[in-house]
Amino acid sequence: MSTQFPDDFKCPISLEIMSDPVILSSGHTFDRVSIQRWLDSGHRTCPITKLPLPEHPCLIPNHALRSLISNYTLVSPSKSQPCSQPQTLVSALTSPSSPIGTKLDSLTHLAGLTKRDSSLRRKLTESGAVPAVLKFVDSEDPVLQEKALSLLLNLSLDDDNKVGLVAEGAVNRVVKILRIGSPDCRAIAATIITSLAVVEVNKATIGAYPDAIPALVRLLIAGKGREKKEAATALYAICSFTDNRRRAIDCGAVPILINLLDLGLERAIEVLGLLVKCKEGREEMMKVNGCVKVLVKVLKNGSSRGVQYGLFTLNCLCNYSEIFCFEARKQGVLGICMGLVEEENEKIKRYLSNLVQTLSGNHAIG
């Protein structure tokens, strides 16, 4: 099965599809189990670059790649028809005289081929086929639209394509789908935003589109399960850019995310962990009744990553507000922290220590 996935989805160490991709300080991504085994063996160099690593290397979750991998099979095209040569498919797709049925077949086959072939993804973008794909993204036919989005998602997997796709107008089309597309199309559109935002310059460009962040926030409200998760993932990807945090806050994202977190969408705490870094985000969180209770629930029931972001968010808020600090103590956060002291995760240890210090010393700054 692994040979059917793009090489970018494979761990450079195990050569298997990554289940928990993490980024090393060298900038390269590995599956957590594989790189942890490498580090546990005493290695303190990057397996790829051979450059030295810190004594306690930080493994940063690659949420964008993890989301792409987990959603990859969900956009798999039909395999019931025989496959044509790629150039023939591209010609049929771009020819004005090709019937709609032929174009649909071409989109379907190209989506299948580009899932497995990174060189074909590059050739397709270089062939001038992108405008035709984007035209079908604008189609009022939901089937054509979904196939075109699936192909566009595959094309966006290569870093070399990401900036070019944005320059060709992909973001404007994708944002429109976020607003008015079918549930499946909206979920794919949000995943495309996540993929494009892997490149740093695209984060700013996407956020600057007037309706990009508002559309993602609306999807958090109106979308179904998968749509909400992908919208939250996309917000996490673009909100590492500071200006986008304020845009998300201005759109009312904070109370929506806290509500979703309370309902069990753990991805929301990761976005809140970014928004809490700015003053506006902290102030909005403090306005939400029951915010401390929701964060405490994450500490009690969340995954390792959820607990990590929960501790960080709580510490930022407690440092900012004496009132919030008092409420956290009242909710028994110190006792919960004591129950986490055996955690081996380095970030959890650090955030735990910081929060205990804050709650013990009441180091409020605002």
Q: What's the distance, CA 353 to chain centroid?
A: 28
The answer to the question of residue 205 being in a domain is: no
Quote the domain boundaries for residue 299: 266-365
The domain total for the chain is 2
What's the pLDDT at 1?
37
Q: Tell me whether residue 121 is in a domain.
A: no
What confidence score (pLDDT) does residue 80 get?
41
Compute φ and ψ for 124, nearest 5 degrees.
Answer: -65, -40
- Alpha-carbon span 207 to 245, nearest angstrom: 9
Neighbours of 316 (CB within 10 A): 24
- pLDDT for position 86: 77
CATH of the domain at 21: 3.30.40.10
Judge residue 11's burial from the number of C-beta atoms within 10 Å of its C-beta, 0-12 exposed, 13-18 middle, 19 or more buried.
buried
CA distance 273 to 252: 16
- The alpha-helical segments, DSSP class H, found in 117-241 are 118-126, 130-137, 142-155, 159-167, 170-180, 183-196, 200-208, 212-222, 225-238
Tokens of 331: 């909710």
253 within 8 A of 267, measured Cβ to Cβ: no
pLDDT of res. 168? 92
Choosing from 75, 105, 121, the residue where a domain stops is 75
Whether residue 359 lies inside any domain: the answer is: yes
List, as one string, the DSSP characters of 335-354.
Answer: HHHHTTTT---HHHHHHHHH
Asked whether residue 301 is domain-assigned, the answer is yes
Q: Is residue 176 situated within a structural domain?
A: no
User: What was the pLDDT predicted at 75?
Assistant: 53
pLDDT value, residue 3:
42
Query: What does the pLDDT read at residue 212?
Result: 96
pLDDT confidence of residue 50:
86
pLDDT for 113 equals 87
The last residue of a domain, from among 31, 53, 75 = 75
| Domain final position from 27, 42, 75 | 75
Q: Packing angle between helix 142-155 and helix 118-126, nearest 10 degrees?
A: 110
Q: pLDDT, tens digit, for every residue of 290-303?
A: 999 999 999 999 99
Of the candidates 39, 35, 31, the one whose C-alpha atom is nearest the C-alpha of residue 56 is 39
Query: In this structure, what CATH number is given to the domain that contains residue 341?
Result: 1.25.10.10
Ranges of the chain whose pLDDT falls below 70: 1-4, 72-84, 362-366
pLDDT recorded at residue 343: 78
Q: Is residue 62 part of a domain?
A: yes
Distance CA 265, CA 225 (A): 9
Q: What is the pLDDT of residue 79?
A: 43
Residue 152 included in any domain: no
Task: State how far the Cα of 27 lies from the Cα of 199, in Å rounded to an integer.
Answer: 13
Q: Is 136 buried (19+), middle (13-18) or exposed (0-12) by CB count in 10 A? A: buried
Tell me how crowded residue 224 is: count the other CB atoms within 10 A of its CB: 12
How far apart, in whole angstroms, are the C-alpha atoms of residue 193 and residue 4?
Answer: 23
For residue 20, tell me if it sits in a domain: yes
pTM recorded for the entire structure: 0.76
Task: Give residue for tokens 């590995």.
Answer: 30
Q: Dihedral, CA atoms, 234, 237, 242, 243, nearest 10 degrees?
A: -30
Whole-number Å distance between alpha carbons of 356 and 354: 6
Q: What digits encode the pLDDT tens for the residues 23-52?
A: 888 888 998 888 988 887 888 889 988 888
